[in-house]
């Protein structure tokens, strides 16, 4: 397939999965802030995946709000203790969210309903 013909679809967030993930992060002591309106994460194949199965695409901070990625400061922050702490909490929250989907039929159903509603 010619790379020029690849089309990335719009990302569809599962509110049910995002809420569960956020709850697990908060339990780990990481407070989340709402996404900034109008800020788009850019094109990615996660959009294609999220149109077929319920998905989330969490973003977590390893820098203060005035920091920016793709900078020397970001590279330094990525090797910091804060980044290690956040990464471990994120990995645990993702694993727990996946476990919740397997163990909670209601969550499983709400996640699929989110997808059907997004297809709308």
Which has the higher per-residue pLDDT, 74 or 32? 74
Instruction: List domains and CATH numbers for the chain.
Output: 3-119 (3.40.630.10)
pLDDT tier for residue 67 given thresholds of 50, 70 and 90 = confident
Cα separation, 76 vs 80, whole angstroms: 7
Indicate the range of 40-54, 77-91, 103-117 predicted with least confidence. Answer: 40-54
Whether 101 shows a pLDDT value over 90: the answer reads yes
Structure pTM?
A: 0.83
Q: Please name which of 96, 83, 86, 102 lies closest in space to residue 24, comparing C-alpha atoms.
A: 96
């Amino acid at each position: 397939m010619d790379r020029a013909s690849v089309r990335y679809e719009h990302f569809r967030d599962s509110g049910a999965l995002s809420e569960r993930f956020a709850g697990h992060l908060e339990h780990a002591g990481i407070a989340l802030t709402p996404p900034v309106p109008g800020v788009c994460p850019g094109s990615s194949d996660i959009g294609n995946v999220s149109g077929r199965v319920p998905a989330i695409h969490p973003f977590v901070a390893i820098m203060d709000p005035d920091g920016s990625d793709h900078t020397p400061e970001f590279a330094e922050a990525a090797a910091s203790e804060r980044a290690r702490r956040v990464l471990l909490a994120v990995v645990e929250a993702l694993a727990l969210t996946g476990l919740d989907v397997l163990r909670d039929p209601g969550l499983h159903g709400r996640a699929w309903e989110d997808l059907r509603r997004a297809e709308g």
